Structure 1
Amino acid sequence: MSFKKGALLLGTVMMLLILVLGFTGALNISSFRTSYTDSLVASYAVAGSDGVRNIEYALKYGKPLENFNDMEKILTDIKSISPGIESVLVVSPEGQVLYNHQGKVDSEHLSPEILKKLRVDSLAESDYRYVAFEGKYHIFLPLVDRNAKWVGSLDMVFNDQVIESRVSIPKAESLQYLYILVALAALLLFICHIKIDFLEPDGQLKKKLFLAVVLSILTVAQIAYAGINYYMYRNVYYEMARENTMVTANIIQRDIDSVVSRGVSYNELYGIEKWMQTIIKSVPQIDSITISDDNGKAVYSTDQQGMQLEQSKDSAYLYSLPLKTGGGQNKLTVTAGINISLSREYIKQKSLAIALDALTVLIIAFFFMVEITLFLLVYIKQEVNRMARAPSSEGQRKKIGSIDAEMIRPLAFFYFIASSMAASYIPLIMKDLYQPMWGLPKEVVLGLPISAELLCAALSIIITGYIIERRGWRFPFFSGLIFMGLGLLLSGLAWNGEVFILARALTGIGYGFSWMAMRWLSTSPTQQEEKTRGLSAYNAGIYAGFNCGIAIGAMMADRIGFSQVFFIALMSLLIVVAFAFSFIGKVESEQEEIKPDFIGGRISTFLLDPGVIFFFFLITIPLAVCSMFMDYFFPLFGASVGLSTSDIGRGFLIYGLCIVYLGPWLGGFVEKRLSPWTASLLAAFMTIGALGLFSWRGGTVMAIIAILIMGLSDSFGTVAQNNYFLSLPATQKVGESKALSYYSTVRRLGQVLGPFIFGALAILGAMRSVGLISLACLALLLMFALLSRTFVKSATEVNLPG
């Protein structure tokens, strides 16, 4: 291998290695920061809730919030038991600061940006909320009067440095391990470069050997880094849980001591178990709280088994503090104690999240490594051919265009990374922005952004076909990038549901233009062999980009929020623009001019053909509706049962992996043994059965299994349905290209209907609504099986494309 070629490949591999390990480290650090912030805020909220109870007690007896004489003492007490809190405020619903821990305040207001982030209209419905603004965190606890009316909020403020000081330690350790692993991997790559001959005798690169070596080193480095982070952060999460449990324990100790010191006996602490349960609900690191007497016997416990098993618990997960008791304020002895048990499940879940993130990043890295390496190989091949060629003639110019067309795979890869980043949580964003709209049920409104995007994509695909015939592929492609860029920008800035729907409609227009232009570009060569290779490369790029985009977007959304991901997707789209100008811009059209020979009345003849009608209305549209189980239903269902955005994204990733890795094998296996008609029915029954399975049992596991089955179904079913449709006599008359454009449009229109149908039936409950949809689609599929039998013979006698 030449020095220049080897340096280019090895340099790219090292950059990818640093990117992958750095992304993994950043995810872990970000996850820990989020978890630590949530934990610390929960501990502070416990301290604040004590003051809230005192304030609300006075409010319920008619004391006005605007004239509260003891407020300074209450706020000072909260601040004194909350290390790290800078100030404690009482604010009105409009954001006016009424009091701080130093007394009454005049003419001071919170920033409107804080109130906007807080969404004050729903604060009264929650126990507490917090927002970050200009380097400070504000924890808001609602205050209600005797009529349960929200009259103000307690605002506890602390500096971001409180969190940063704790996060900086594991961050530094993680970076040290990153540097060590990168250095070792670089050394190993260099040794392999020297010792292993990656070139064929004719000078071509041994692709399989090169990819095997590089991916092996990358995988080992990623697994090693993931393992190091797993064990390091497991200990860090344990220490974090103990620290915040200590804060909570001190607050509980103080509150109980203040009651008992007034002469109240332990047997008279009525309602204390209910109070302790509210603390556990707020602080997930705590598993149970037990109060024991002077003999060590449990008197009160949030854990029914804790009354007998408290002593058997691992001391490493048990935090104990003494409690004072006695006959009065002047005669106190330490005779009792409070035992707080740390939650092993919490630490286990956080550790598991680290492992899942590492596995997800490894999958992403695999796709990136394959796609980047293949891109480099094509690029090097182009450079070698360009240098070996004399000044090009017209015939050579076309050859150059054909070689450049191989770049459609990395182009599709980068494009679908950008376009897929937000695909797994569009309904969740609409849920956050929800306001009643046009008299529609809430569940239907949540699906409007998806429906608007798909509808506009379907319409723009139709328009793009006519534009390409007249102006070529460049105009719709780059126009699509502009529309998508505007859609992504507006999606990130959306301040209400209507704006978000408009943003997704613009994104759909851009998607339809660019998707159709790239598809046309992939089939532009006139030779069937090159056309097939181009289309295969395009499809491979689509699924690799989809998988990477979904996973990256979902994991980032958990760390930086939904809106920020749209801006990152927009920056990724700029990479697509630069790539297209650099590597695809010289591609020339080699397709012969398309002469419309199927117009006017003959279009209606095609659309009214019984075989086409059966296929569109009895199988295409029903399956398109079912596909919205993943795009619309699963994100909302997953969020309702506590799945993180990352976990929802991993559900989408399971589907994508089935398409990529099982599709080629299952497709070939089914094609050899079943006719397109039979394979189409089998795939459809699998999809409908997946929904039926979820409706039977429900739950997260069944939802994931349903997505897995749908992935298996689509891995061969899409090709089978495509082949069956192309075998219909009416399709052969109209021509393959025209027929497929109608098929694509009808399928997307079915997807547009999906969110409406799922949303309209949501009133029945998740399981019943999905079950009803699966039964309706099953009935339509059985009708298709009966009515289309007369077309089976023609479907099996024609020479179908592979």
Structure 2
Amino acid sequence: MSDLRLRRLLTGGILALLCAQLLYGALMLSALYKQYQEPVFQINGLVCRDIADHLGLLVRVGKSLRPQTVERFLSLYRTRTEAENIAVTDASGKIIFQWDRNEKAELFSPPDAKAVFGNVRKFSTDDSFWTTCPILGRKDAVAGHVFMALNKTRISHLIAQAAQSQLWIFLGISLGECALLAMLMRFLAFPPGSSRNPSGLKLRVCFMLPLILGQILFLFLLRTPLSRLYEAEMIHTGDQLARQMAWDLERLAGMGLPVSGIHGMELWMMERQQHVSTRGMAVFDVTGRMHAAADVNGYLEKADWQRRAEEQTPVKLDICLPSDGSPAGSVQVLMDPATVRSNLLSVMLDNLTMTVVAALFLSELIFLLLMSGGGMKAMSTSPDFMRPIIFACLFATEMSMSYVPIRIGELGLDLFGLPPDVVSGLPVSCELFMAGLAMFAGGFWSQKSGWKPMLLSGVLLACLGSFASWLSPTALPFILARGMSGLGYGFINLSAQVFVIAHSSESRRAHNLAFMFAGLYAGTLCGSTMGGLIADRLGYQAVFPASAVMLVLTLAALSKLLPQEKWQSGESSAARLSFREAFAFLSDRHMGSLLLFFIIPNALITVCLFQFFMPLSLSQAGISPATIGRVFLLYCIIVMFAGPLFGSLLDKAKSMVPPLILSMFIVVLSLMALLVLEGLPAAMLSVALLAVNTAIASNGQGAYALSLPAAQNFGRARTMGFYNVAMRIGQVLGPLSLGIMMSLWNARTGITVLAVLTGLSALLFAAFSLIRSSSKES
């Protein structure tokens, strides 16, 4: 029997490990695609801006951009760039001239084009990566635009070359992981001569260790080829920068003006280095004497240049006379090697992020594998069965949730004359409002039909909402689509709770709910991180169809795997809720203070910061989507691992009131962190404190509510229904309240007001709750 179980676990473990490794490989390939893109946009941006500067000079001296003039000028760049097409348009977008005659007659930069540097923007179409720069005429009026297109097949070809050289290493590491798993299972989990079954912790260690060690080894082996790639791209960028200056100097030399007779080059060098990571540029005359040198901050003396050139070899390009090609001087550029280190650090962080995602994904497969040992029937009646289901559902839905405020900003914030800050918070508020409505209505639905119809309907609605979000052209349909997604999320969340409660004993109910919510947060973590990587690769719009496809697959799997069971409600549905009962419940001093001064403000701040203010402010600060995903990853990891610990401590506490009061003051500290610090450190500290609050509040507030006399009189199901509605009210008010305050004042003032109101709520909750404690002691 032991050998049979070993073979079953080993076979399932190898399949789960390969699935996790495949997910890791896909994510790693996506990260490499991003890393290859950035240098290409940087180099094309330099060329694009150089063309725009020269054409802008013609406009400022009174020349018109005629097709013959533009064609003659662009012919100089046929051998100087790798672009497949260069187009010049007038101010109205009509193309004056372009290399590819098969392209459209008009060309425009989309509103969601992202900055490369300065006024250079980038965007992509189905076939090409585009870089664009405005042509500035007199008084900086836009006289037209320059567009450069690079075929995506070039990037794909580069990635294919890199992937081919690393593919065998990746396959070898994957086979090594499987071999290590087999050894651990044979000699650690099931040692020879032992008849004892291994513990669940030992099995999880055996499954996790090969994956983590393999990914660390792969990153170590990937460091050398990536370093060579980044160094080559750095040299390529320096060569392009030197080439632009050499072209101008060669034209002047052809007019009879030697390099030594040209003055004021330092200002040109300083301006060109503003958006490129360099340590300096220098121009040398035909005798090799340095004529001018500067870095981004100012002029460089000869001694300064020599000292920097000794530390690093500069990129050198000769200046040749156009007439006979004889040397007339040289241009040298010192690139900043910190760029290579920064890119390697970015890859390392991406690798660690993907390791966490793959490990959690493997963890959920392991839970499913271990539960399957008792057969499908036994597994489907276990409360643990809901954990992998809720993980898959939340993995799909949360891929897009974190980027809703950013996406509506791309669609436009013009809606019924409302302030833009208010409009940007409407999708999240609508989604959470519909989720609350679904949970309130689902409570009555589940009493009659059970959890299964509600779960399948929720997945279907969430899928339709993601598809509608993807297809929405403006703000209003996008907001309505997010409402549909919220309706689906509410049904999914409530159906999972109903299933766990229906299949749990009284003594294990809290533990089983905590186990299910751990899967929920794991799905949230993996989904938001996966969404960030997809947004980096394809843009924010792409996360919505990706979420919809995941939900379609989840719905198909659930329709086949969910068990057929007869639903029996544990509570009578005959009794109707009267207004007097509801009023007595809500007017109870202790229950009312819990709902009004704890649950609502706590949910308000959590959603306001986590799903609205954080992604919006970090995006506006120039933080990459992948880094935003890592901020959310920190929140979920803290809640996942600190939640059970705080839950055990709360079970042992004499009263839950002091820990809940403490969690409210932690929320205040989370808001104050945003006021004291700035940028990514402020967001990381604020999110960490917010996660600690969630780990305490999510375990304590429900148990405390059910322990009050008002809950015992009102009924447990009704109490939890009102409890969920109060949470949704806070979640809906969060983005709206901060958005209104941002439109009236500013974000800093809005955060300050929220901190003050949260502190007052904590004091009022403490005052009303301590009255109950005193009366019990007396």
Q: TM-score, normalised by structure 2?
A: 0.91
Quick check: 1:133 aligned with 2:113?
A: no
Q: For residue 227 of structure 2, what is the aligned residue in structure 1?
A: 234
Q: For residue 59 of structure 2, what is the aligned residue in structure 1?
A: 59
The offset of 1:510, in angstroms, is 0.7
Find the aligned partners of 1:652 and 1:123 in 2 and give their Cα distance: 24
Of the three residues 517, 528, 532, the one matched with 2:506 is 528
User: Is the alpha carbon distance of 1:37 and 1:252 closer, same or farther for their aligned partners in structure 2, counting shifts above 3 Å?
Assistant: farther
Q: For residue 176 of structure 2, what is the aligned residue in structure 1?
A: 184
Q: For residue 153 of structure 1, what is the aligned residue in structure 2?
A: 145
Quick check: 1:463 aligned with 2:457?
A: no
Q: Give the alignment's Cα RMSD to 1 decimal.
A: 3.2
Of the three residues 597, 615, 624, the one matched with 2:594 is 615
The offset of 1:359, in angstroms, is 1.2
Q: For residue 656 of structure 1, what is the aligned residue in structure 2?
A: 636
Q: For residue 77 of structure 1, what is the aligned residue in structure 2?
A: 76
Q: For residue 202 of structure 2, what is the aligned residue in structure 1?
A: 209
The offset of 1:736, in angstroms, is 2.2
The offset of 1:220, in angstroms, is 0.9
Quick check: 1:414 aligned with 2:392?
A: yes
Q: For residue 647 of structure 1, what is the aligned residue in structure 2?
A: 627
User: Is the alpha carbon distance of 1:406 and 1:526 closer, same or farther for their aligned partners in structure 2, counting shifts above 3 Å?
Assistant: closer
Find the aligned partners of 2:57 and 2:737 in 1 and give their Cα distance: 48
Q: For residue 559 of structure 2, what is the aligned residue in structure 1?
A: 581
User: Which secondary structure does the structure 1 equivalent of 2:150 belong to?
Assistant: strand
Answer with 208-217 or 44-53: which moved more. 44-53
Find the aligned partners of 2:693 and 2:577 in 1 and give their Cα distance: 33
User: Is the alpha carbon distance of 1:737 and 1:317 closer, same or farther for their aligned partners in structure 2, counting shifts above 3 Å?
Assistant: farther
Q: For residue 38 of structure 1, what is the aligned residue in structure 2?
A: 38
> What's the CA shift string for 1:305-355, capped at 9, x where partnerless?
853433233668543325559xx9989985754332222232222111111
Q: For residue 392 of structure 1, what is the aligned residue in structure 2?
A: none
User: Which secondary structure does the structure 1 equivalent of 2:473 belong to?
Assistant: coil
Find the aligned partners of 2:687 and 2:662 in 1 and give their Cα distance: 16
Answer with 12-21 or 348-357: which moved more. 12-21
Answer with 335-344 or 732-741: which moved more. 335-344
Structure 1 unaligned residues grouped into runs of 5+: 387-399, 798-802
The offset of 1:579, in angstroms, is 3.8
Of the three residues 497, 514, 519, the one matched with 1:541 is 519
User: Which secondary structure does the structure 2 equivalent of 1:456 belong to?
Assistant: helix
> What's the CA shift string for 1:697-745, capped at 9, x where partnerless?
2232122011111111221122223333333332222122211221221
| Structure 2 residue identity aligned to 1:749 | I
User: Is the alpha carbon distance of 1:637 and 1:119 closer, same or farther for their aligned partners in structure 2, counting shifts above 3 Å?
Assistant: closer
User: Which secondary structure does the structure 2 equivalent of 1:451 belong to?
Assistant: helix
Q: For residue 13 of structure 2, what is the aligned residue in structure 1?
A: 13
Quick check: 1:248 aligned with 2:241?
A: yes
| Structure 1 residue identity aligned to 2:71 | E
Q: For residue 396 of structure 1, what is the aligned residue in structure 2?
A: none
Find the aligned partners of 1:498 and 1:86 in 2 and give their Cα distance: 38
> What's the CA shift string for 1:234-265, capped at 9, x where partnerless?
22212221123222322222123323554557
User: Is the alpha carbon distance of 1:366 and 1:742 closer, same or farther for their aligned partners in structure 2, counting shifts above 3 Å?
Assistant: same
User: Is the alpha carbon distance of 1:465 and 1:634 closer, same or farther for their aligned partners in structure 2, counting shifts above 3 Å?
Assistant: same
Find the aligned partners of 2:443 and 2:89 in 1 and give their Cα distance: 59
Q: For residue 395 of structure 1, what is the aligned residue in structure 2?
A: none
User: Is the alpha carbon distance of 1:134 and 1:485 closer, same or farther for their aligned partners in structure 2, counting shifts above 3 Å?
Assistant: closer
User: Which secondary structure does the structure 2 equivalent of 1:90 belong to?
Assistant: strand
Find the aligned partners of 1:626 and 1:532 in 2 and give their Cα distance: 25
Q: For residue 618 of structure 2, what is the aligned residue in structure 1?
A: 638
> What's the CA shift string for 1:721-778, capped at 9, x where partnerless?
3333333332222122211221221121111111122222335444343223212221
Find the aligned partners of 1:153 and 1:762 in 2 and give their Cα distance: 35
> What's the CA shift string for 1:662-694, capped at 9, x where partnerless?
121233235535621111110000111111122
Find the aligned partners of 2:260 and 2:749 in 1 and give their Cα distance: 48
The offset of 1:128, in angstroms, is 2.8
Answer with 352-361 or 227-236: which moved more. 227-236
User: Is the alpha carbon distance of 1:796 and 1:150 closer, same or farther for their aligned partners in structure 2, counting shifts above 3 Å?
Assistant: farther
User: Is the alpha carbon distance of 1:792 and 1:335 closer, same or farther for their aligned partners in structure 2, counting shifts above 3 Å?
Assistant: farther
Q: For residue 772 of structure 2, what is the aligned residue in structure 1?
A: 791
Q: For residue 497 of structure 1, what is the aligned residue in structure 2?
A: 475
CA contact (8 A) 2:189 2:198 kept: no
CA contact (8 A) 1:90 1:98 kept: yes
Q: For residue 91 of structure 1, what is the aligned residue in structure 2?
A: 89
Quick check: 1:320 aligned with 2:315?
A: yes
Of the three residues 308, 311, 327, the one matched with 2:306 is 311
> What's the CA shift string for 1:161-212, capped at 9, x where partnerless?
4333433332112212101111222222333444445399778554222222
The offset of 1:5, in angstroms, is 4.5
Of the three residues 709, 720, 730, the one matched with 2:710 is 730
| Structure 2 residue identity aligned to 1:732 | Q
Q: For residue 569 of structure 1, what is the aligned residue in structure 2?
A: 547
Answer with 664-673 or 190-199: which moved more. 190-199
User: Is the alpha carbon distance of 1:292 and 1:722 closer, same or farther for their aligned partners in structure 2, counting shifts above 3 Å?
Assistant: farther
Of the three residues 110, 122, 145, the one matched with 2:104 is 110
Answer with 135-144 or 651-660: which moved more. 135-144
Answer with 2-11 or 613-622: which moved more. 2-11
The offset of 1:621, in angstroms, is 2.2
Find the aligned partners of 2:456 and 2:252 in 1 and give their Cα distance: 71
User: Which secondary structure does the structure 2 equivalent of 1:154 belong to?
Assistant: strand
Find the aligned partners of 2:96 and 2:156 in 1 and give their Cα distance: 30
Q: For residue 441 of structure 1, what is the aligned residue in structure 2?
A: 419
The offset of 1:485, in angstroms, is 0.7
Find the aligned partners of 2:773 and 2:441 in 1 and give their Cα distance: 33
User: Is the alpha carbon distance of 1:722 and 1:355 closer, same or farther for their aligned partners in structure 2, counting shifts above 3 Å?
Assistant: same
Quick check: 1:602 aligned with 2:592?
A: no
CA contact (8 A) 2:265 2:292 kept: no
Find the aligned partners of 2:450 and 2:64 in 1 and give their Cα distance: 72
Counterparts of residues 470-509 of structure 1 (less than 5 Å): 470-509=448-487
CA contact (8 A) 1:86 1:158 kept: yes
Find the aligned partners of 1:576 and 1:322 in 2 and give their Cα distance: 57
Answer with 609-618 or 648-657: which moved more. 609-618
The offset of 1:93, in angstroms, is 5.6
The offset of 1:270, in angstroms, is 6.2
CA contact (8 A) 1:729 1:794 kept: no
| Structure 2 residue identity aligned to 1:300 | A
Find the aligned partners of 1:122 and 1:196 in 2 and give their Cα distance: 52
| Structure 2 residue identity aligned to 1:351 | L
The offset of 1:783, in angstroms, is 2.8
User: Which secondary structure does the structure 2 equivalent of 1:139 belong to?
Assistant: strand
Quick check: 1:162 aligned with 2:140?
A: no
| Structure 1 residue identity aligned to 2:671 | L
Find the aligned partners of 1:433 and 1:195 in 2 and give their Cα distance: 58
CA contact (8 A) 2:380 2:562 kept: no
Quick check: 1:143 aligned with 2:135?
A: yes
The offset of 1:134, in angstroms, is 4.3
Q: For residue 742 of structure 2, what is the aligned residue in structure 1?
A: 762
Percent identity over the alignment?
A: 22
| Structure 2 residue identity aligned to 1:79 | R
Answer with 423-432 or 274-283: which moved more. 274-283
Answer with 366-375 or 193-202: which moved more. 193-202
Quick check: 1:693 aligned with 2:673?
A: yes
CA contact (8 A) 1:453 1:505 kept: yes
CA contact (8 A) 1:262 1:329 kept: no
Q: TM-score, normalised by structure 1?
A: 0.88
Quick check: 1:279 aligned with 2:257?
A: no
Counterparts of residues 351-362 of structure 1 (less than 5 Å): 351-362=344-355
Quick check: 1:719 aligned with 2:719?
A: no
User: Which secondary structure does the structure 2 equivalent of 1:438 belong to?
Assistant: coil
Find the aligned partners of 1:43 and 1:546 in 2 and give their Cα distance: 37
> What's the CA shift string for 1:615-655, capped at 9, x where partnerless?
22322222222211121111111112221111111111111
